[in-house]
Chains A and B, each alone.
Chain A
Amino acid sequence: MKDTKETIVKFENISMQFPGVLANDDVSLEIKKGEIFALVGENGAGKSTLMNILYGLHTPTAGNVYVKGQKIEKFKPMGAIEKGVGMVHQHFMLVPSFTVAQNIVLSREPKKMKFLYDLKKANSQVRELSEDYGLKVDPEAVVGEISVGLQQRVEILKTLYRGADVLILDEPTAVLTPQETDELFKVIRRIVEEKDMTVIIITHKLYEVMAISDRVGVMRQGKLIGVEETKNVNERILASMMVGREVLFDKIEKTGEPGNVLIEADNLFVADNRGLMAVNGVSLKVRAGEILGVAAIEGNGQSELVEALTGMRSVKQGQIYICGQEASGRDPGEIRKMGLAHIPEDRISTGVAMPSSITDNMIIGKERRSEFSVKGIHLKRSSVARYARELFDKFDLRGAGVDTEVGSLSGGNMQKVVVAREFSLDTPVLIVAQPTRGVDVGAMEFIHKQIIEKRNHGCAILLVSADLDEVMRLSDRIITMYEGRITGEFKAQEIDKRDIGYYMTGSRTAGGGEEGA
């Protein structure tokens, strides 16, 4: 690494406020020309927002951005592209029905006869470009029909076609296989060395940071916590910077002995939305009075596992038993009747009806009980209101009152509505996914206490979380998942965070030691 490098991108006191969320909080950062800079942080730490600002997709609420010494006045993608900034988004920005070449040249199409699109020239230009950078693609293939790895290559070529020399990659490996990841890293190194490009890579996989970057910046809750030379840090240091809340909590007392098996999955196969297999033969058991934590990096099948267990996603093969009853092939309503409650990983899309009041959101699932409706039909509004107020107080919801629209609540309060509804169902089985994602520390502590209390009362709890500290703090047993398979199983006291990390990234499996990293 050369030392005297000029600054190519400069963020100055950037703040970004979205309704209800301060996504960036006074961030100042300089990126040097010709380096590979990694930006790490948990989900919702504000990494993507910061980069979207650089790419002109958001206008920051406060602060300035400079590219190559010029201040950005108007935040528009076109302006960023003209300044040589290119971005590969986490969700690919490709038109599925267009060909590879048509996607790459989009908005800068070669023309003939002044206004006609020169499709042939587009193909040949793309072919040349792909050979020049050693990124092989078929210009005439339809994008919707090629693999994710190739789609990403198309995205990179798209930025190169536009003459980008600053390349932002947002979670580029989230959707790639290990082989594709290796390939991508080779490409990144090559374009940095040969073409003198600058690469900013957003990720939450720490070993990747160590493998590819020159410098690393850590973000947490919208703030930039620190910037270090990669050679001066290790994964452990980065992890504690990322999470940084270990010391905050008191111990929560766990009591009681595990009882009968209440959640059981046997050789489960589940497909994702694209029809690709996301869960590959998972078997697990959770007993009464026990919390089983699932530690996995996003996109390794844990979401699909939860959805299959709760009936929201169909099972392709294998069995599920909830409280001893066969649950595979049942819908969520039937499984809930077997004795299951569920906190979904995404409360906004799944956990609440945003336009409805807190009361209505809390009563759903119980509205046909005789306490709340006459013969399951006529709603007893007064008892419903009384009950909602009770839960409102018990779960320490703050704010206007039970008639408030849930959509207007903060993340923490909204999550408390979900927790209140689900936990008050008093079921023997709880499936809890990302219970404290995007939730303030106070609410998090509260929710943790509720979970432990449930456990102490004899609930069987399956906990899935991207927050490793949360998993370690709450679980009795922990399993790690990688690419839809279970890679290890541990008693919570017997393993430390760092070791778990190896299993979560598939570099170790329970069967046989370390694979080559």
Chain B
Amino acid sequence: MEHIFDVFNIGLLQNTLRTATPVILAAMGGLMTEQAGIMNIGMDGMILIGAFVAVAFSFACASASIGVLIAVLCGILIGLFFALFVVKLKSDEFIIGMALNTFAGGLTVFLLRSIFGVKGTFSNSGIVALPKVHLDFLDSIPVIGPLLNDNSIFVYITWILVFLAWLFLYRTPCGFWLRAAGEHPESLETAGINPDKMKLMASVLCGIFCGFAGAHLSLGYLTMFTEGMSNSRGFIAFACVIFGMANPPKVFLAALLFGFLDALGLRLQSVGVPSDLTSTVPYIATVLMLVYVVVSTDRKKKKKTKQQLVEASERA
């Protein structure tokens, strides 16, 4: 019984927020491309480059904000690069995504070695981390106070970005165009807007979000750069996008779920439940959800036909 309190406490929720944040950021980017009809599995590489650049410039300029800024600029460039192939040259998005991951993995390690002369991890007191936010008035509130306080500033920025992503997609004309470009590009084209431009925009937005995700990972979550530190977060984000049907609030919740299970896994380890097994839950859930969606739409269609058959036999 006591174990339950060992596992389920505020620390768990705090960890959930911490681990979910980079995934949420990347997933917001992923849902932009998904909504625009691009299957983007290159997010892992995008995050990795963002993380590296953020650390490098934070260290070089002794400023976390410059690190973040350059990471985002880099994200824009990668987004353009991705769009050049996928949108302009109509290359297979799958190949390009995979190649981007390989490229990012190779480039970051190569640069790490060449610039900083280290292998594996670059950690240095010269890297300026992102500030943590502490609001005094929250201290007096139980549960919420400790939960919301003392987080990296990016945790809060992320919430704002989720709202902005939703606002953009569902409350601005441009967001509607972007969604139309993914769902039915011909209708957008005949309405006089080039769907390719929307796809380009989506992939640049994805680059920006992944830049943020990377920067948070290396300057907020940790204060260092480690080889392959994206650690498949791009794929997790992709799973969240699919699970949340590319809708920002739903994807946000999906990412929190992933984060929760991740945090829970670490906790459960302390009471003897292996974290590796709890980590599989979100992936299995995503597969089951995909199956459920297909089966339920199929059932609806069959119902429709049956109804007609009954009507037809009545007429006859």
User: Using a CB–CB distance below 8 Å, which chain A residues touch chain B?
Assistant: 55, 57, 76-78, 81, 87, 89, 91-98, 102-103, 106-107, 109, 111, 115-117, 119, 158, 269, 271, 274-277, 280-281, 316-317
Contact = CB atoms under 8 A, between A and B. Distances in A.
6 contacts: A95-B184, A102-B176, A276-B305, A277-B309, A281-B312, A316-B309
Given A81-B191, A107-B192, A111-B173, 11 more contacts: A94-B184, A95-B179, A95-B183, A97-B183, A98-B176, A109-B173, A117-B171, A117-B173, A269-B312, A276-B304, A281-B312
Nearest to B184: A95
A77 B192 contact: yes
Interface in B90-132: none
A95 B312 contact: no
Would you call the interface of chain B mostly helix, strand, loop, or mixed? Answer: helix
Given A98-B176, A115-B172, A117-B172, A57 B190 contact: yes
Given A96-B184, A281-B312, A106 B305 contact: no
B312 A93 contact: no
Contacts, number: 90
A89 B190 contact: yes
A275 B191 contact: no
Interface string B287-303: 00000000000000110
B186 A93 contact: yes
Given A276-B304, A281-B312, A107 B172 contact: no
B73 to A, nearest CB: 23
Contacts of A98: 176, 179-180
B191 A277 contact: no
Nearest to A79: B192
Nearest to A272: B305
A116 B305 contact: no
Nearest to B189: A77
Nearest to B177: A107
B313 to A, nearest CB: 8
Contacts of B193: 78, 107
Interface of B: 167, 171-177, 179-180, 183-184, 186-193, 301-302, 304-305, 308-309, 312, 316
A106 B180 contact: yes
Nearest to A91: B186
Contacts of A109: 173, 176
Contacts of B183: 95-97
Nearest to A97: B183
Contacts of B167: 116
**Top 9 A-B pairs ranked by shortest CB distance?**
A78-B192, A93-B187, A109-B173, A107-B191, A275-B304, A275-B301, A93-B190, A277-B308, A271-B305
Given A106-B176, A106-B180, A117-B176, A277 B187 contact: no
- Which one of A77, A97, A276 has the greatest number of beta carbons of chain B within 10 Å? A77
A276 B308 CA distance: 7
A106 B172 CA distance: 11
A316 B192 contact: no
Contacts of B187: 92-95, 103, 106
B65 to A, nearest CB: 26
A388 to B, nearest CB: 32
Contact of B309 (A76, A111, A119, A269): A269
- Which one of B175, B188, B192, B316 has the greatest number of beta carbons of chain A within 10 Å? B192
A281 B305 contact: no
Nearest to A89: B190
Contacts of B174: 115
A168 B301 CA distance: 33
B190 A55 contact: yes
A317 B172 contact: no
A93 B171 contact: no
Contacts of B304: 274-276
A91 B189 CA distance: 14
Contacts of A77: 189-192
Nearest to B192: A78
